[in-house]
Amino acid sequence: MYGMVNKAIQDLVTIQFGEDKWEAVKRKAGVEIDSFISNEGYPDSLTYGLVGAASEVLGLSADQILFAFGEFWVLHTAKLGYGDLLSSAGRNLGEFLDYLPTFHVRVGLIFPNLKPPRFETSDRLAEQVTMHYYSHRPGLSMMVLGLFSGVAKMYDTPATTTQIKFKDKGDDHDEFIVRWGDAMNA
């Protein structure tokens, strides 16, 4: 995974829990890197190791960590470096989600080693869309839920996300229904 992901985990732990906790997480994960380089590739195992260690050190479940990371990624990390680009991906939550598949295609073009996930949209309604998430990396659906939550917060639009297909449980991919506005009451 690219260093920006590990850097985001570092920032999340440091900002929300303190520098000491981050050092403890690194120690626990056996990571001796001081600063991650955003556009440098790191083994996925390192990222998973950091998440596992953070879970132990912070006393949170891995799902909680992943969800928090997903939100943090959108609201903090991506915004820091790619804020203008991110906010230009749509004028509202709906447009952003519509553009998400293209956005990830473009990301894959720019970061050839990133192997980003693939998104597809279907069943688009005025305030609802079904998001299909395909990734070779297992166990990250909670992070996707956090990402959607973060995007909704970025547009200041209350939204709900429901996962209806689970790759972990044998489905061929993860599927989520995102609703906002009146659709949330439907």
Partner 1 sequence: MLFPFHFMLDECMNVLAIGSALSRISPKMVQGSPLASHFRLSRRGQEVLDAKFLLRQTASLIIFESLTSSLFLRMQVLLIENPKRYLFVGSPWLRKVNELKTLGIVLQDFALHDSTVDLLQVQKTQEINLDEAREAVEKLEKQKEGLEQVVEERTHALTLANKELSRAMQSKDDFLSTMSHELRTPLNAILGLSESLVENIYGELNRKQARSIETIAESGQHLLSLVNDLLDIAKIGAGKMDLDLSITSVEDVCKASLRFITGIATKKKISIELILDPNATTIYADQRRLKQMLVNLLSNAVKFTEGGGSVVLKTKSDRERNTLDISVVDSGIGISAIDIEKLFRPFTQLDSKVSRQYPGTGLGLSLVLRLAELHGGSVKVESDIGTGSRFTVSLPWSQSTTDLSPPFKNLGETNLGDASEGPLILIADDNEINLSTIGDYLLAHGFRIIQARNGLEAIKAVRDHNPELVLMDIQMPLMNGIDAIKALRTDRFFESIPILALTSRAMVGDQERCIEAGADEYHSKPVNLKQLVQTILSRLKSTKPR
Q: Which residues contact partner 1 by CB under 8 A?
A: 35, 37-39, 81-82, 84-85, 87-91, 95, 98-99, 102-103, 106-107, 109-111
Q: Nearest distance from residue 1's CB to partner 1, in Å? A: 16
Distance CA 170, CA 166 (A): 7
Amino acid (1-letter code) at residue 142: M
Q: Nearest distance from residue 170's CB to partner 1, in Å? A: 34
Minimum CB distance to partner 1 smaller for 2 or for 180: 2
Minimum CB distance to partner 1 smaller for 113 or for 162: 113
Minimum CB distance to partner 1 smaller for 103 or for 119: 103
Minimum CB distance to partner 1 smaller for 48 or for 111: 111
As a three-state string, the secondary structure of 105-154 is: HHHHHHCCCCCCCEEEEEEEECCEEEEEEECCCCCCHHHHHHHHHHHHHH
Distance CA 14, CA 139 (A): 24
Largest CA distance in the chain: 50
Q: Nearest distance from residue 19's CB to partner 1, in Å? A: 15
Q: Nearest distance from residue 110's CB to partner 1, in Å? A: 5
Distance CA 106, CA 129 (A): 21
